Amino acid sequence: MGRRHAVTIKLLFIAALVLILLIPLQMVNALRAERAANLARGLAPGAERVETRETAVPMPPTAEFDAYRMVERAVKHGPLVLGLVLMAFFLFETLADLRLHAFHYGLVGAALVLFFLALLALGEVVPPAAAYAGAAAASSLLITGYSAAILRSWLRAGMIAALLGAVHAVLFVVLRMEAYALLAGTAALFAALGAVMFCTRRVDWHAHETAALPEGAR
């Protein structure tokens, strides 16, 4: 019985890992709020104000604040980004008969969290679009190079790179389309779920769960 529900346990682990990674994501968001408030206090009073936990301070419309808004909205979509990418590794592990350790998933999740921190850091020195491109490229290259080793194939790593490119492209569009962000994000989720359904339509999950059992225990 120890390995009978291995697939289910791995799915529960991925869900728990996403919840755990929300902690550093919220730390990034708190850092963003602090730096935005510090910047606002150093500028002349403007017509717009930013709310912090302590007080409201003036927030003129500057490129820095555009970057801070992008980070804030990106963090809100963080769980979806984490879930989609980690599920891709789970599908590779299941369909390609690989074995990935929890440590592998943890490092991939850490690289995804670094994307949001890099977006915050770069947004303070370069325009928001360039900051997004740089952060996405750095995180994607890190994950792609690592996945080539743990997935044991550069072809699979290339597929992960394509997925990361698609996820970051869709997220960028959603962040830019404030009026239609919910619609665009929902459409992207439907497309992602449809792709997972298509790729796993012929998978015998019961066979995967019992494959590791001794013959007499099945």
Q: Tell me if 144 sits within 8 A of 163, measured CB to CB.
A: no
More confident residue, 201 or 160: 160
Q: Residue 218 falls within a domain, yes or no?
A: no
Q: Residue 1 falls within a domain, yes or no?
A: no
Q: Tell me if 174 sits within 8 A of 77, measured CB to CB.
A: yes
Domain holding 31, by residue range, is 6-212
User: In this predicted model, what pLDDT tens digit does every residue of 63-102 receive, in sequence order?
Assistant: 566 888 889 989 989 998 999 999 999 988 888 878 889 9
- Give the pLDDT confidence score for residue 112 in this predicted structure: 96
Q: Which two tokens stand for residue 25?
A: 């994501």
Element (H, E) at 134: helix 128-150
Beta strands in 30-145 (DSSP E): 49-51, 56-58
Q: Tell me the mean pLDDT in the region 160-169.
A: 93
pLDDT band for 189, please (50, 70, 90 cuts).
Answer: confident
What is the domain count for the chain? 1
Q: Residue 118 falls within a domain, yes or no?
A: yes
Mean pLDDT, the chain, whole residue set: 81
The whole model's pTM is what?
Answer: 0.80
Q: Residue 36 falls within a domain, yes or no?
A: yes
Between CA 119 and CA 69 the distance in angstroms is 11
- Give the pLDDT confidence score for residue 2 in this predicted structure: 46
